[in-house]
Amino acid sequence: MSCRGTQRRLEVDHERPASADLEHLSRCPECAAHRGLLRELYAEARASVSEPPTPALLSQVEGQARTALRRAHAPSPLRREILLPLGIALFALPIALAQGWLWLSGLFLLGEAWLPAPFLTGISVFYVATVGLSLGALYASLPFAVAYANRIQPETS
Ligand SMILES: [Zn+2]
Spacing, Cα 34 to ligand 1 middle (Å):
9
For 87, half-sphere exposure in the C-beta direction (CA atoms, 13 angstrom radius) is 7
Confidence of residue 148 (pLDDT cuts 50, 70, 90): confident
Please report whether residue 19 resides in a domain: yes
What is d(CA 107, CA 121) in angstroms, rounded to the nearest whole number? 10
Spacing, Cα 18 to ligand 1 middle (Å):
14
pLDDT in tens, 47-73: 886 778 899 999 999 999 998 888 777
Please report whether residue 36 resides in a domain: yes
- pLDDT (0 to 100) of residue 142: 86
- Quote the number of domains for the chain: 2
Please report whether residue 60 resides in a domain: no
Spacing, Cα 23 to ligand 1 middle (Å):
10
- pLDDT (0 to 100) of residue 52: 82
- Shared-domain flag, residues 41 and 106: no
Please report whether residue 89 resides in a domain: yes
Q: What is the dihedral of CA 42, 48, 49, 53, to 10 degrees?
A: -140
- Shared-domain flag, residues 36 and 90: no
What is d(CA 11, CA 132) in angstroms, rounded to the nearest whole number? 81
pLDDT in tens, 88-146: 888 888 998 999 999 999 999 999 889 999 999 999 999 999 999 999 999 889 888 88
What is d(CA 150, CA 19) in angstroms, rounded to the nearest whole number? 73
**Which of 44, 61, 65 is CA-nearest to residue 53?**
61
Please report whether residue 54 resides in a domain: no
- Shared-domain flag, residues 88 and 125: yes
- Shared-domain flag, residues 100 and 33: no
Higher-pLDDT residue of 12, 1 = 12
Task: Supply the range of the domain harboring residue 95.
Answer: 76-151
The single-letter code of the amino acid at 83 is: L
Please report whether residue 66 resides in a domain: no
pTM of the predicted structure, to 2 decimals: 0.43
- Shared-domain flag, residues 41 and 86: no
Spacing, Cα 25 to ligand 1 middle (Å):
6
- pLDDT (0 to 100) of residue 116: 92
